[in-house]
Amino acid sequence: MVFDYLQSDPLLGRFFEPFIFERVPASGKSAAKLYINEVESCDIYLGIFGKEYGYEDAEGVSPTEREFDHAALHHRTRLVFISSHKASERHPKEAALIKKAEQTIVRKRFASTSELKASLYASLIRYLEEKEFIRTAPFDATLNRKATIDDLDAEKITKFVQIARRTRNFPISAAAKAKEILTHLNLIVDGQIANAAILLFGKAPQRFFICSEVKCAHFHGTDVVKPIPSYQVYKGDVFQMVNQAVDFVLSKIDLSVGLRNASTQAPISYELPRAAVIEAIVNAVVHRDYTSNASVQVMLFKDRLEIWNPGNLPFGLTTEKLRLPHPSIPHNPLLAEPMYLAGFIERMGTGTRDIIKLCREANLNPPEFIQEEIFRTIIWRPVTDKVTVQATDQATDQATEQATGQATGQATGQATGQATGQATGQVPEEVRRLVLILKGEMKRTEIQEILGLRHHENFRDNYLLPALDAGIVEMIFPENPKHPKQAYRLSKKGKALKRSLKAKDKKS
């Protein structure tokens, strides 16, 4: 079917000449030598792996596996399509061959001949595009016929330039006109703006690209189980989506507050390296396929963080090569550069290796990169004895609540004692973190910087407002919430909560 399809399709037939051993006429040549020579002379090895392993030579290896290995030896592009049979239905050697392919190259599964044809067509068109046999612009560089410069937010552009000048010495002034800035970033051509401009600075990017969103979910176990304890869908420009997704993860993972030995402010650290979380989420948002109806998904489980990206690695780049020095081949280059200029990533083309390095330095298990229907990044959380921690927390909660309740009740009355007792067990985790790092009078920007949070609305809605509403934190200018010198401090109730939390940490 594939042989006939490649010859008969009007477009593919112009570029590809298929060879299969079954169509070779009888001759006196060695069959093994014939197909091995063809592998060496071809541009692409296309494997279709099903249930049976097939004929085995004297060494017990099939011609299919010989071809596969020979294509790897000679660095040929390898496209492998795997039938949807269950593992139990496959010949053991065929299952082993599939496993070998899964560890080294990009592969695609199919359940019918129509699915195989569709997947094959998409893969070969991508090959032609990347080899520039046919020329099409990347999605982010494509000019959008429906959008105008009025669909962009001038304030976002100015803010970006201010950050880029401070972070990367961006040469254009923040006072420059939007058109000049966009021209320097290759985001406008003859008055028409590119898709990347909308995703970076659009007033409402989802009006043009409905699936440009990030879905975040937190599960208490190791599997996707409904109902989902915490679920958010973040929209906006790419900077906003990255910030919100990173803040979501940081608010759900463990945080430790160190001692004030080196400065007046206690240092904090998250169980997962913040830089690795940012890098993985930026990679997903920047390198995703924006023509796909799928969304970027960020899922935090008990044992791992998974980030799903609806996209594919470029031809020639494998998950194995991601762990080694490799060229930077951004799927959306006009998105990648502004993310670098704004300081979201430290270097271009080193993302996966930086994640590996950061995880190693944090004594975490090596991260995993998996290319299937979508691209997945897995960052493993630290291995801890959850049962022991929970038991200790329960015992400490009870002891702390009793001790604090009695002491406070004697000093200031039953109402204060109840408030302090409830504080250790009922306030949101975000509020606890705010209480632990708050010292004296601090501005909002100072608090966000210490916590490593970048999205103002997320900090306000999940950290600051709940603490203010609970009377745990107070403003120094309560009569004027928007005062230019506004700062925040712990209330009497907040100070009691902080003492209780510290006592709990010492006991645990």
Same structural domain, 358 and 418: no
Q: Which of 207, 235, 266 is the last residue of a domain?
A: 207
Check whether 126 has a pLDDT greater than 90.
no
In which domain, by residue range, is 421 found? 386-507
Examine residue 330 and say whether the peptide bond preceding it is cis (omega within 30 degrees of 0): no
Query: What is the average per-residue pLDDT within 331-351?
Result: 82
Q: Which of 149, 176, 207 is the last residue of a domain?
A: 207
Same structural domain, 118 and 221: no
Same structural domain, 201 and 229: no
Check whether 38 has a pLDDT greater than 80.
yes
Check whether 397 has a pLDDT greater than 80.
no
Same structural domain, 375 and 403: no
Q: 81-85, 100-104, 397-401, 492-496: which range is least confident on average?
A: 397-401
What's the CATH number where 390 sits? 1.10.10
What's the CATH number where 115 sits? 3.40.50
| Per-residue pLDDT tens digits for 135-169 | 677 889 888 989 999 999 999 999 999 999 999 99
Same structural domain, 493 and 421: yes
Q: Which of 112, 130, 148 is the last residue of a domain?
A: 130
The per-residue pLDDT for 22 is: 73
* Number of separate domains in the chain: 4
Same structural domain, 312 and 357: yes
What is the radius of gyration, based on Cα positions, of the chain? Answer: 28
Same structural domain, 239 and 184: no
| Per-residue pLDDT tens digits for 202-255 | 999 999 999 999 999 999 999 998 889 899 999 999 999 999 999 999 999 998
Query: What is the average per-residue pLDDT within 456-478?
Result: 90
pLDDT band at 257; cut points 50, 70, 90: confident
Residues contacting residue 391 through CB under 8 Å, at least 6 positions apart:
none
Can you tell me the distance from the alpha carbon of 249 to that of 277, in angstroms, rounded to the nearest whole number? 8
The per-residue pLDDT for 499 is: 87
Can you tell me the distance from the alpha carbon of 64 to that of 311, in angstroms, rounded to the nearest whole number? 28
Same structural domain, 268 and 179: no
* Helices (H), ranges, 185-329: 195-201, 238-252, 274-287
* b/e map 230-253, b = 16+ CB within 10 Å: eebebebbbbbbbbbbbbbbbbbb
Average pLDDT for the chain: 84
Q: How many residues does the chain have?
A: 508
The proportion of the chain whose per-residue pLDDT surpasses 90, expressed as a percent, equals 50
**What is the torsional sign of CA 190, 195, 199, 204?**
positive
Same structural domain, 366 and 399: no
Query: What is the average per-residue pLDDT within 89-110?
Result: 86
Amino acid 427 reads V
Same structural domain, 376 and 391: no
Same structural domain, 177 and 316: no
Q: 14-18, 153-157, 414-418, 460-464: which range is least confident on average?
A: 414-418
Same structural domain, 38 and 125: yes
What's the CATH number where 363 sits? 3.30.565.60
**Residue showing tokens 């980030």:** 307
**Residue showing tokens 């979201």:** 344
